[in-house]
Amino acid sequence: MKKRILCALTAMAMAVTLLAGCGGSDDKKTEAQTKEQAKTEAAEKGADAVTEAVTKADEAGGDGNYTIAMITYSLAEEFGVDVIDGAQAKADELGVELVYMDPAGDMQKDISIMEDLISQGVDAICIAPVDADAIEPYIDQARAAGIVVVNWDIETQAEVDAKVLDNNSGGGAMDADYLVEKMGKEGKVLIVSDLESVTSTWERILGFEDRLKEIAPDIEIIEQLSSGTRDTHRTTVENMLQAHTDITGIFCPDGDRTLGAYVACEANDRKDVLIVGYDATPEQKEIMKKDGAECNMIAVVDLHPKTLGSVSLETAYKILEGETVEAVQQSEISLMTAEAVVNGTYE
């Protein structure tokens, strides 16, 4: 019988959702509706209802398909939601059950989710860990239990079955190249930094910094750690703009930092500060369209998150099917510039 796992989904109101509504009268429920009702009840009751919900789902019957779990860093970020969207589309195509959880950037929640998934015996886990080091023993436990583990986006050094990673350092270098092209080879650049344990953003920072030093050694680099929400990043950047009035550029290694920096510059009338960042979300694209040629968020690296989610899930599926996959796959990246968006040349 197909193995199932149901955890509380804290992002139920997100645009992308796993749980479908159940229709029909009680005496005419289809098997699929019965299973979906069990899932919905679990989500409403919270993580304590996992075992009860799994039992109900199994009683409804199963067709032998795989259950694959997708764990993002946070579903508060549009990037994470898009990853789930891509994974869901591929799951529908392959006929597998996708379940997803939201650790909300909390390492302890991430660990708890892994423990739940291991105890419920899903077939595979695709994970972008909150803390690449802290998650290692739980990945080891999952694989010891016979669960396939695919590591995506945030790289861990734990032994996994496969990895689907971005060219993080290359993306950082892209941002550096474009910033220097537009800003010149002099000035002061703020890096809105992240924890070293978040390996994806850390690699982007190193890639940006190394390239900037290489092509524009006279640019002064200052760095400020900012952990938390978009509002946190806005406050961080506002404080730095006040402390360093001569800042001419800002680099942000993810979407929330990028948008936080943009709002901070708007609020402090610093449209002269050029921002390069990450994620190429619809919100960022709309800002570029709205501001036009004067937009100071001049470029963001596009990680194509839907593709990332799709490839990660398909990789797990192929391993479960006994197919050989590459140990490390590089996901595509590109640079979305405000200039290209305004000209209609970036799709």
* pLDDT (0 to 100) of residue 347: 74
pLDDT at 58 over 70: no
How far apart CA 298 and CA 210 sit, in angstroms, is 20
Reported as a single tens digit per residue, the pLDDT across 214-246 is: 999 999 999 999 998 999 999 999 999 999 999
Q: Tell me how far apart the terminal alpha carbons of the chain are, to the nearest angstrom.
A: 43
Q: What is the mean pLDDT of residues 308-319?
A: 97
Give me the phi and psi of 133, to 5 degrees please.
-85, -45
**Tokens 């959880």, located at residue:** 101
Reported as a single tens digit per residue, the pLDDT across 265-303 is: 999 999 999 999 999 988 999 999 999 989 999 999 999
CB atoms within 10 A of CB 182: 15
- 274: closest CA among 244, 296, 254? 296
* pLDDT (0 to 100) of residue 16: 33
* pLDDT (0 to 100) of residue 65: 87
Contacts of 242 (CB under 8 A, 6+ apart): 268
Q: Let me know: does 79 contact 255? Beta carbons within 8 Å.
A: yes
Q: What is residue 55's three-state secondary structure?
A: helix
How far apart CA 37 and CA 242 sit, in angstroms, is 53
Q: What is the mean pLDDT of residues 31-46?
A: 40
How far apart CA 88 and CA 67 sit, in angstroms, is 12
More confident residue, 52 or 298: 298
β-sheet with 124-127: strand ranges across: 97-101, 67-71, 124-127, 148-152, 162-166, 328-331
Contacts of 283 (CB under 8 A, 6+ apart): 78, 259
pLDDT at 26 over 60: no
* pLDDT (0 to 100) of residue 41: 40
How far apart CA 106 and CA 113 sit, in angstroms, is 11
Both tokens assigned to 62 = 């199963």
What's the count of helices (H) and strands (E) in the chain, helices before strands?
12, 12
Mean pLDDT of the chain: 85
Q: What is the mean pLDDT of residues 95-119?
A: 95
pLDDT at 47 over 60: no
